[in-house]
Amino acid sequence: MNRRRLLETGAGGVVLLALGGCAPAGGATGTFDDPGYSYRALTPGDRNTIAAIAAVVLAGSLPAESAARAAASIEVVRGVDVAISGLPPSVQEEIGQLFGLLRFPPTRALAAGIWRPWESAGTESVSNFLTGWRFSGVALFRSGYQALHQLVMASWYGNGASWAGIAYPGPPRV
């Protein structure tokens, strides 16, 4: 990568993050519904994003039965909220910018290739987005993928409800 390409990539990333920061904080009201928990870090639009991403990332791990699957999705989104809430403010701000980018329709479409709202995005579209960012030549996208992937995985596998599915007996008793 030459210096010019590096500067172009950096400038493009700054523009995308700036546009993502223009997204309204409330986001969509969406279909993700969890009235039993008071979210500290995730907006309603962010919760829809995490639910759509988790459904793809955890495709083989979530329960097959729809009610259990919905409950597991709620646990994952809650876990991501708890994880983000425990991070330093500067990291929370960066994650907020990432979600702003993914929540704002023009930047979501341009950066992620998701043209519909997250709650109605198909699993193939979400999977293509994740694969594209995972193997992107743009470091900012690869970092965004890693953040989303690690938040979802830590939230699911850090939850005792998921341990039976992987035959994990839990941490040793001290």
pLDDT of 171 reads: 84
Query: Going along the chain, which residue ranges are E strands?
Result: none
Question: pLDDT of 120-139, one tens digit each?
Answer: 999 999 999 999 999 999 99
Question: pLDDT of 52-79, one tens digit each?
Answer: 999 999 998 998 899 999 999 999 999 9
Q: How far apart are CA 95 and CA 101, in angstroms?
A: 10
Q: How far apart are CA 43 and CA 173, in angstroms?
A: 37
- Provide the pLDDT confidence category of residue 30 given band limits of 50, 70 and 90: very low
Buried b (16+ CB within 10 A) or exposed e, 141-169: beebbebbeebbeebbbeeeebeeeeeee
99 burial class (0-12, 13-18, 19+ CB within 10 angstroms)?
buried
Q: Is the pTM of this model over 0.85?
A: no
Assess whether pLDDT exceeds 50 at residue 24: no
Please provide the size of the chain in residues. Answer: 174
Assess whether pLDDT exceeds 60 at residue 48: yes
pLDDT of 12 reads: 59
C-alpha Rg value of the chain to the nearest Å: 17
